[in-house]
Chains A and B, each alone.
Chain A
């Protein structure tokens, strides 16, 4: 395997100008640097893989390439010419097109209509569809990729794989706008496909290489290595390396994705190993639902159990099911040995379960409401006497938590959306603590979008809560975080628990031990 960073091979033949080049791209979001000077080179007629963990900056980079995100600094070059991409149309004019992760086809239109939608060209004359011209146009596009899909089939009657083909056929229409070979970006095209369909897609991608450059993104590293010529690895908004795929193995790639430092020290406070009682606080047996089957899970008081798995492993749904926010079809949940029925989120709250959702802005907090209202939203009793809100009790309670968690806010009546991400997250966490009856915390990516300082504060808080006897289920943002924080790790794969790995202080597993169970 050859790892070389930004080094063009020196040959006597002049190197053709890259189809697409990105230099020093920077993008800030409030409280987080999504792109921190990323570099990328897409050569002509190659399939370039893009790998990186969640939050490495992949989606932001892709969005910048198709004009959906405007970078704060840095340049994009198309065939050596600097360009500004301000919209999808401008990107298409430069020959850059993207097949989106969420399928962007209109289900109740025919494949042909979808292919011409948005750039109808000769398919429309005097405001009217010319069906024959449209079908011809669509057929031409489908022929390019050698697909035998009937252009007059309704899109919702097609399989996922065929829809993917239609998307590619549609995206290839940008060829009409530019005389040069296009750059086609495929964002996680395999996530909804069966393995046989994936093989067809890969053949397709190899065929695309004949007349286009392809950027391929997938969470599954074996796929990336299978179909790509070269892989660029992103970490923390920067490109950390390039790998020629010939002879490379997923493990090496993964090590680059997570960095060589392994599990970082700042995760550990001065935490002692949890004292495990005989009876686990949470005990889950055979839990099944829409996207997970037969999940067994025990969490003792004071223990942090992380669940890791790739996108689509079902771990998010397990977490929501434990909070009564996702229906289950079988299995039972025991709290302190007692069977728990969770028809909805209120039952879970009453049982002392707290949930911090991954989408803080839309699900975790109510933006325009005050810090105090957000903090007391669940445990109303903590601020009320009888049925009435007691303003003094509320003020004392909220202020005490603001200072205990050192939440930086002008005051308790400030709208929570005006705080920084880390402080918002602390308010959301405090919501479950103000009642003083929290037994089990479900943390779904609690550090997503937070900067380093805010992250370590959340880590310290988690440690302290565990120290006080709260059982924690953690869906970590990265393997590194899971290994650093957890006492035990469950690996989920395709809706099932694939492995359980002890993760004590001083005996932490390496990310690679986990990765081999994940894929």
Chain B
């Protein structure tokens, strides 16, 4: 430090205005509260629900959703959105099913790498061509779905020998599904990496105020491309989980996970405008969404109503969490 700077302390007291109010504190615990309330409600509706068997089944369903939501959360934290995750996961299930016979154990890392590269490509298109992420990934979604249909001949690709991915279908200690364990590890990994490196500062700054981040010399473009890359990789990993459970790949296998994944992110309380949020929140959000999903039949609602519920959740969660004082014009 070569700059000798000393300024005489002034007498005026520290001026500080408005910290987080009680209402804000409450919304920050919203996903956990929702989770507890849901668990209690479902247990009352069906005392059988709180058993090891149904919880295990529920957590197995949750795993791919957690992974998808965690990856896409990074893009949302940067202030963008990734609508292509489900379609990218679907096409990845097809690739995996097709590559397993030849590549064997290498097929899994290969699929994740390819998905990551595709994600990064979308990031590059977003950053270099200056197209809104919403449009880039909407286009991506359509393209990936079509590619999946073409390479799979519009049908399910069966996996005959699943020995190299069967480990994902095992249980840790006999109860905890391996896929859930992997999903939680992914969340921990992302969150730890963010915490111990400057990445957290960079991502938050980019999401809260891109112009301020740029003028501070933050590598905004790289951060965004990186977020899309991780989002893609997570879609690839989710695809591996799906294939290990279904013993096949299909061009539409993960398509119905897009809305639940977005719902998980916003229910978790990550701001759709960027900056505020975390992957932990999305983990909690994904569990809430999963409980709703498995809980609907228990309370007697036909599963056809599921999509209505997701739509309503997304709108309601954003309505509750959006800080409108920061957004002048809502587009």
Chain A residues packing against B (C-beta within 8 Å): 30-31, 323, 325, 345-346, 348-350, 355, 357, 362-369, 373, 376-378, 380, 383-384, 387-389, 404-406, 408-410, 414, 418-420, 423, 431, 433, 436, 438, 453, 457, 460-461, 464-465, 468, 470
Contact = CB atoms under 8 A, between A and B. Distances in A.
A238 B280 CA distance: 53
Range, interface on chain B: 35 or more
A464 B217 contact: no
Contacts of A355: 215
Residue among B14, B209, B215, B275 having the largest count of chain A Cβ atoms under 10 Å: B215
Contact of B5 (A367, A408, A433): A433
A199 B217 CA distance: 45
A418 B9 contact: no
Contacts of A418: 16-19
Interface string B195-239: 111100100110011011111111100000000000000000000
Contact of B6 (A363, A373, A384, A404): A404
Contacts of B5: 404-405, 433, 461, 464-465, 468
B212 A362 contact: yes
Nearest to A368: B208
Identify the interface centre among B5, B197, B209, B216: most chain A CB within 10 Å of its CB.
B216
Contacts of A349: 216-217
A401 to B, nearest CB: 9
Contacts of B51: none
A436 B12 contact: no
Given A346-B219, A363-B211, A409 B14 contact: yes
Given A357-B212, A368-B208, A405-B7, 4 more contacts: A364-B212, A436-B3, A457-B10, A470-B3
B10 A30 contact: no
Contacts of A345: 214-217
Contacts of B201: 369, 373, 376-377, 380
B7 to A, nearest CB: 5
B216 A438 contact: no
Contacts of A470: 3
B16 A419 contact: yes
Contacts of B217: 345-346, 348-350, 377-378
B7 A460 contact: yes
Contacts of B3: 433, 436, 438, 465, 468, 470
Contacts of B216: 345, 349, 366, 377-378, 431
B212 A365 contact: yes
A376 B61 CA distance: 41
B22 interface: no
A453 B17 contact: no
Contacts of B198: 376, 380, 383-384, 389
Given A384-B198, A404-B5, A364 B215 contact: yes
B13 interface: yes
B264 to A, nearest CB: 23
**Residue in A345, A366, A406, A457 whose Cβ sees the most chain B Cβ within 10 Å:** A366
B275 A368 contact: yes
A91 B19 CA distance: 36
A409 B14 CA distance: 6
A366 B212 contact: yes
B212 A420 contact: no
Contacts of B1: 436
Contact of A406 (B7, B15, B17): B7
Top 9 nearest A-B pairs (CB, nearest first) are: A349-B217, A408-B14, A420-B15, A380-B198, A406-B9, A377-B216, A436-B1, A378-B217, A366-B205
Contacts of B10: 406, 408, 453, 457
B130 interface: no
A376 B218 CA distance: 11
A69 to B, nearest CB: 16
A373 B204 contact: yes
B174 interface: no
B158 interface: no
Contacts of A377: 201, 205, 213, 216-218
11 contacts: A366-B213, A366-B275, A368-B275, A376-B198, A377-B201, A377-B213, A404-B5, A406-B8, A410-B16, A457-B10, A468-B3
A208 B214 CA distance: 46
Contacts of A388: 196-197
Nearest to B14: A408
A200 B214 CA distance: 42
Given A362-B209, A377-B201, A409-B14, A325 B7 contact: no
A460 B7 CA distance: 8
B87 to A, nearest CB: 33
Nearest to A408: B14
B276 interface: yes
B173 interface: no
Contact of A362 (B14, B211, B219): B211
B204 A366 contact: yes
A380 B2 CA distance: 17
Contacts of A410: 14, 16
Contacts of A405: 5, 7
B2 A389 contact: no
Given A325-B214, A346-B217, A465-B3, A387 B197 contact: yes
Contacts of A457: 7, 10
Nearest to A30: B17
B198 to A, nearest CB: 4
B130 to A, nearest CB: 14
A383 B202 CA distance: 14
Nearest to A433: B3
B79 to A, nearest CB: 12
A431 B216 CA distance: 8
